[in-house]
Structure 1
Amino acid sequence: MSGKQRWLPDQHGAWAMLAVPFLAGTFLAPRPTWWQLALFGAWLLGYVAAFHAQQWLRLRRNSRNPRAAGRHVRPAQAFGAAFALLALPLAWRFPWLLAAAAAAAPFLAVTTWHAARNRERALLNGLAAVVPACGMLLVALRLGGGDPADGWRPALACLLYFGGTVPYVKTMIRERRSRAYHRASVGYHAAALAVAAWLSPWLAVPFGLYLVRAVLMPRRRPKVAVVGAVEVVASAALLTALLLVF
């Protein structure tokens, strides 16, 4: 395993989920500020630190290799320290960020519980990770002088999309032979299309494409790299749509 692989999480789909809602909130804010850049750094560092801490807990409880958990200690400490260097000044300058962190804490507890029991692929675990990530749109918006009440529609659109990626990706990889999962994924995306169109008729365009993707892609069984590339394009389309619509 290379040094990069030891330090950076291999959950490639998570990076889009971390970035798109935050960037949407940043660019939708009336007064973008450098504080948002600092918060974005803290957000990414906190994710990586939590990832390594959870992997340490998972492997310590479930691995037969006594050294497996140990390789996550230094990354967790390093990224945790870097997170603190950015987070503490932010919390001092904007104490309301502590309330936002408290709101995210139950979701972190859910993902930690699943990691400890080696059930990170569980549907609930994936959905628990999506909610705080999409909530960061509201946090970034407020930090840039916006009213979070004005951000609920783009935040909900993010939740609709990234929530749908959880069952969809399962139909492409681990549950690719499950007709029940495929039907559930298609049903979810159809409902998401209806809600997105209610939020804004223009959102029916990307969400219509997401529905088509959910219907057709599992039948074609493309390679994992192709699945990832499609999701990169889909995430970029969501960000573009949010900035144009809202």
Structure 2
Amino acid sequence: MARGRYDWVPDQHGAWAMLTVPFLAGTFLSPRPGWAHAALLAAWLLGYAAAFHAQQWLRLHARALRSARRHGRPALVLGAACAAFGLPLAAAHPWLVPAACAAAPFVAVNTLYAWRGRERALVNGLAAVVPACAVLPVAAGLGGLGPGGSWRAAVACLLYFAGTVPYVKTMIRERRSRAYRRGSVAYHAVALAAATALSPWLAAPFTAYLARAAVLPGRGLRPAVVGAVEIGCSAALLGTLLAVF
């Protein structure tokens, strides 16, 4: 019975930091964080969970696998819960509707890759990063901060979380690929330069991200350790964004 309850929570552990860090940054960078942010966060997380189960249902149903059934009910229930939080919020703040629609092309890419059974593809991971980071200016706008005050923080989030996609692959699925390691290190070097251009204070965390991309692959770290390192990196990013911007 307990297992059934836990099956409703997506097991993509790395996604939770990517969903929450930009949201929290946008919320607390805004001058008026409030209850509307709590409703938006609920809709945001429930929407992600509903989309995850819908995509898993599609992937398994396309292969005529009976295990698709266990994703159907969570997709419907979580989708309804998302609507229960999101629709009143959209009625009060109509500009949230086009903001949500802007995420649709990226969700479509993720859905296509799920249908093909290629959720682990690099492009699929990068497509998921964009709307996850774009929620930062949405949360900031809900609290009264315009795009001019939030875009640098959003770009910093994009630079970091886009880098986690190839980096995590070098630690687990592509740990024997030298090409992935070189590409990951090269990306993090470019990200360091770009982040420093946004704010010199961002050089410190992004130097650490570059170091971990260069040093940690090939050391045989367990996935739990890799995850713990990323939690620390995400927390460092959030703290820096709130302190700098």
Same fold (TM over 0.5): yes
Give distance in 2, aligned partners of 1:72 and 1:92.
29
SS of corresponding position for 1:68: helix
> Post-superposition shift, 1:4?
3.5
Please name the residue that 2:129 is paired with.
130
Give distance in 2, aligned partners of 1:4 and 1:20.
25
Give distance in 2, aligned partners of 1:235 and 1:217.
17
After TM superposition, where is structure 1 displaced by more than 3 Å over at least 4 residues in a row? none
Please name the residue that 2:198 is paired with.
199
Q: Structure 1: which amino acid aligns with 2:36?
A: W
SS of corresponding position for 1:220: coil
Give the superposed CA RMSD: 0.9
Once the two structures are aligned, what percentage of the paired residues are identical? 67
Give distance in 2, aligned partners of 1:11 and 1:191.
27
Q: TM-score, normalised by structure 2?
A: 0.98
SS of corresponding position for 2:217: helix
Give distance in 2, aligned partners of 1:3 and 1:209.
39
Give distance in 1, aligned partners of 2:111 and 2:88.
26
Give distance in 1, aligned partners of 2:192 and 2:153.
14
Residues 11-48 of structure 1: CA deviation (Å, up to 9, x unaligned): 00000000000000000001112101100000000000
Please name the residue that 1:230 is paired with.
229
Listed as ranges, the matches of 1:184-195 within 5 Å are 184-195=183-194
Listed as ranges, the matches of 1:63-142 within 5 Å are 65=65, 67-142=66-141
Give distance in 1, aligned partners of 2:104 and 2:177.
33
Please name the residue that 2:180 is paired with.
181
Structure 2 unaligned regions, length at least 5:
none
Counterpart check, 1:15 vs 2:42: no
> Post-superposition shift, 1:5?
3.3
Give distance in 1, aligned partners of 2:10 and 2:84.
21
Please name the residue that 2:36 is paired with.
35
Give distance in 2, aligned partners of 1:4 and 1:222.
30
SS of corresponding position for 1:10: coil
Residues 78-130 of structure 1: CA deviation (Å, up to 9, x unaligned): 10111010011011001100110111000000000000000100001000000
> Post-superposition shift, 1:50?
0.4
